[in-house]
């Protein structure tokens, strides 16, 4: 009986981070969906993405001053999207894109990107 109880405790300890990540991924996908539905937030998101792209281009051209300025402007846009979006971006680095949760997350992010292209 004790072995079963110990096995359940160990299984629960390992399962908790998975459930926590699932909840975080669902929250992130929800936050991305909210941005996609809100025209003002979508506009801000698309402007942010454009600024990040321009920053990367400036960096490739070795124009670090322009890259830094554009990156700062993009960061300001990201902050304007709120805490939920900040959590989304923090989660992006930690999520496995090959997992079911990762696929759902990146599908939501891709749908948001396509909304920028469509507008």
pLDDT at 4: 47
For 12-62, how does the pLDDT look when each residue is reduced to its tens digit (9 = 90+)?
333 334 434 577 777 777 888 889 899 999 999 999 999 999 999 999 999
* Cα–Cα distances in angstroms (integers) from residue 61 to residues 55, 58, 80, in the given order: 10, 5, 28
pLDDT at 67: 94
pLDDT at 13: 39
**How sure is the predictor about 119, in pLDDT bands with cuts at 50, 70 and 90?**
low
pLDDT at 65: 96
- Mean pLDDT over the full length of the chain: 80
**What phi and psi, each to the nearest 5 degrees, are found at residue 82?**
100, 175
More confidently predicted of 67 and 28: 67
Closest CA to 55 of 45, 64, 46, 43: 64
**Does the structure show a pLDDT above 70 at 100?**
yes
pLDDT at 76: 96
Closest CA to 74 of 94, 95, 56: 56
């Amino acid at each position: 009986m004790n072995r079963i109880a110990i096995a359940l405790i160990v299984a629960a300890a390992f399962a908790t981070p998975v459930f926590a990540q699932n909840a975080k991924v669902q929250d992130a996908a929800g936050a991305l969906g909210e941005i996609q539905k809100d025209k003002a937030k979508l506009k801000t998101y698309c402007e942010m993405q454009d600024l990040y792209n321009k920053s990367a281009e400036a960096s490739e051209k070795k124009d670090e001053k322009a890259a830094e300025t554009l990156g700062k402007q993009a960061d300001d846009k990201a902050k304007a999207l709120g805490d939920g979006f900040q959590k989304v971006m923090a989660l992006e680095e930690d999520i496995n894109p090959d997992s079911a949760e990762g696929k759902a997350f990146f599908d939501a992010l891709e749908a948001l990107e396509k909304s920028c292209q469509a507008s």
